[in-house]
Chain A
Amino acid sequence: SQTIHQWPATLVQPVGSPLSLECTVEGTSNPNLYWYRQAAGRGLQLLFYSVGIGQISSEVPQNLSASRPQDRQFILSSKKLLLSDSGFYLCAWSIPASSYNSPLHFGNGTRLTVT
């Protein structure tokens, strides 16, 4: 069966410091991969998605970037964190893009607090 791993679970970082969150998927090949952010009391906001290695689409211009160095690895990064980057970051995967009606499967998230 497929599993998704996301780490770390919690992170406290000072303003201006770099960020690297990692997500890996097991048990499937060539998944679509996603990064979402969930602010308190709000819905999920799509940040980035990827349909293959090195292919990244950005949905919201901001202080973050994403990379997909391997088929089942997705990384969210920042060179300098802002206070507004605080939130709950979720990685998700779905089966490849030909199945538009396939659900997303989420990791357990990273709670990021920028101080």
Chain B
Amino acid sequence: EDQVTQSPEALRLQEGESSSLNCSYTVSGLRGLFWYRQDPGKGPEFLFTLYSAGEEKEKERLKATLTKKESFLHITAPKPEDSATYLCAVRSRGKLTFGQGTILTVHP
């Protein structure tokens, strides 16, 4: 059975304090790994798709990387508006499995 584990469950940062979120996965035949941002009371917003180990994607202060067993979402010099829940999901054989998410809070 496919499994996706995100850590930490919650992360508190000071504005400007860079850090990383982790998404570890166990799947049979990875077809893609997806990162989403979810604000309270809203639906998840798509951020990145990663397909193969070694791939990297960037968007503003966010950078996603992928290895054969995990993905990292690096946040550089975060701002309070980066506060949200970050979800990762993996697709294998047409099935999409979500992690539980990391709640990120950035204090000014």
The B interface is mostly helix, strand or loop, or mixed, namely: strand
Task: List the A side residues contacting B96 at CB < 8 Å.
Answer: 46, 104
Q: Does A107 contact B (CB under 8 A)?
A: yes
Kindly report which residue of chain A lies nearest to residue B45, judged by CB atoms: A106
Mark out the residues of chain A between 95 and 110 whose CB falls within 8 Å of any chain B CB in the assembled complex.
Answer: 97, 100-109
Please judge, given known A-B contacts A43-B87, A44-B98, whether A104 and B46 are in contact too, CB under 8 Å.
yes
Task: List the B side residues contacting A42 at CB < 8 Å.
Answer: 100
Q: Does B44 contact A (CB under 8 A)?
A: yes
Residues of A within 8 A of B (CB): 6, 41-44, 46, 90, 92, 97, 100-109, 111
Please judge, given known A-B contacts A100-B32, A103-B49, whether A111 and B41 are in contact too, CB under 8 Å.
yes
Q: For the complex, what is the distance from the CA of A105 to the CA of B96, rounded to whole Å?
A: 13
Q: Closest Cβ of chain B: how far from A9's Cβ, in Å?
A: 8
Residues of B within 8 A of A (CB): 4, 31-32, 34, 36, 41-46, 49, 51, 87, 89, 91, 93-94, 96, 98-101
Task: List the A side residues contacting B32 at CB < 8 Å.
Answer: 100-103
Interchain CB contact under 8 A, B94 and A100: yes
Interchain CB contact under 8 A, A43 and B94: no
Interface centre among B51, B98, B99, B101 (most CB of A within 10 A): B98
* A-B complex: 7 closest residue pairs judged by Cβ atoms: A106-B43, A101-B32, A43-B98, A44-B98, A100-B31, A43-B100, A108-B43
Interchain CB contact under 8 A, B46 and A103: yes
Interface centre among B32, B43, B87, B100 (most CB of A within 10 A): B43
With A101-B91, A103-B49, A108-B43 given, can you name 6 additional A-B contacts, CB distance below 8 Å? Answer: A6-B43, A42-B100, A46-B96, A92-B43, A100-B32, A103-B46
